[in-house]
Chains A and B, each alone.
Chain A
Amino acid sequence: MENKNVLSNPADWVELYGDQLLKYTVARVRHREAAEEIVQETFLAGLKAQKNFSGRSSEKTWLFGILKHKIIDHYRKKEKEQQVSTEDPFVEYFDGRGHWKKSLEKWDTNPQKALEQKEFWEVFSRCISNLPVDMEQVFQLKILDKMDSDGICEALQITSANLWVRLHRARFKMRECLEKCWFMKTG
């Protein structure tokens, strides 16, 4: 007989996995309330799907699997709410001959120093939160979930051209925000 995992009483799930699932979600979803909502939905979906549990994976892995789907659903919902720009982000910065319209400001000689400052991370976090949500979602999938471009396009149901524009636009926006709110301020 092979060893099969069994599910515990769903009434205990919150105590057993609530914090772990929330931690995973909070890093991936902008608002804490939304994150808690997703965790709640995960438990309820798990409850409904109990009979499909094959016992091949652990209960925890199984719940995380449901959670991941719920997060992607959340991303897709956000996608639909956003007016996504598809304009080439480089147009703004270059003239017709492909030259920079204006020179870039020089940043602090040692920007690495900033990484050790709490204030820098506060500014950084504000800049990220100011990005349209569709741009941050790309970073989250790329960095937290280590997804490749194909995976991201599939998860968000967008084209690779769209992903490309979004990524570059996000970088330009972050660059500008850091420049304005940090590098030109501390001087």
Chain B
Amino acid sequence: MLRCKDIAKLLSDSLEKELPWTQRVEIRLHLMICYVCRRYWKQLRFLHNCITNYYDKKLDKDPALSQESKKRMQDKIIEEMNK
């Protein structure tokens, strides 16, 4: 019999890779009888979802370089070119 600790690890692993069907069955049986692991699984999936969302959003932001930064970078490049 798998304990909650094993199940929690497997659940976390299942976000990374496909588990063998024997383990999937064990997880399902355990979740039927254990509400703490059920809660953990729900929260874990939510979290996983949020993390993906968060980085997608972060990519959408358009952080342009300020004029000063551009000027500073350009000057540095030109300085190096003239060396």
Nearest Cβ in chain A — how far from B65, in angstroms?
5
A26 within 8 A of B: yes
Residue interface bits A117-142, CB-to-B below 8 A is 1, else 0: 00001001100100000000001100
Q: Chain B's interface: helix, strand, loop or mixed, by majority? A: helix
Chain B residue nearest in CB terms to A46: B77
- Number of A residues whose C-beta is below 8 Å from B? 47
Q: Which one of B8, B62, B77 lies within 8 Å of A47 (CB-CB)? A: B77
Query: Would you call A168 and B54 a contact (CB within 8 A)?
Result: no
B20-38 vs A: 1/0 string, CB under 8 Å? Answer: 0000000000000000110
- Which residues of B are found within 8 Å of A171, using beta-carbon distances? 12, 44, 47
* Chain A binding surface, main DSSP class: helix
Give the segment of A16-24, A52-60, A66-74, A75-83 that binds chain B: A16-24
Interface positions of B (Cβ within 8 A of A): 3-6, 8-9, 12, 16, 36-37, 39-40, 42-44, 46-47, 49-55, 57-59, 61-65, 69-70, 72-74, 76-78, 80-81
Between-chain CB contacts (< 8 Å), 14 pairs: A10-B81, A26-B63, A36-B65, A93-B8, A104-B43, A107-B39, A111-B43, A121-B54, A124-B54, A128-B54, A144-B59, A167-B16, A171-B44, A171-B47
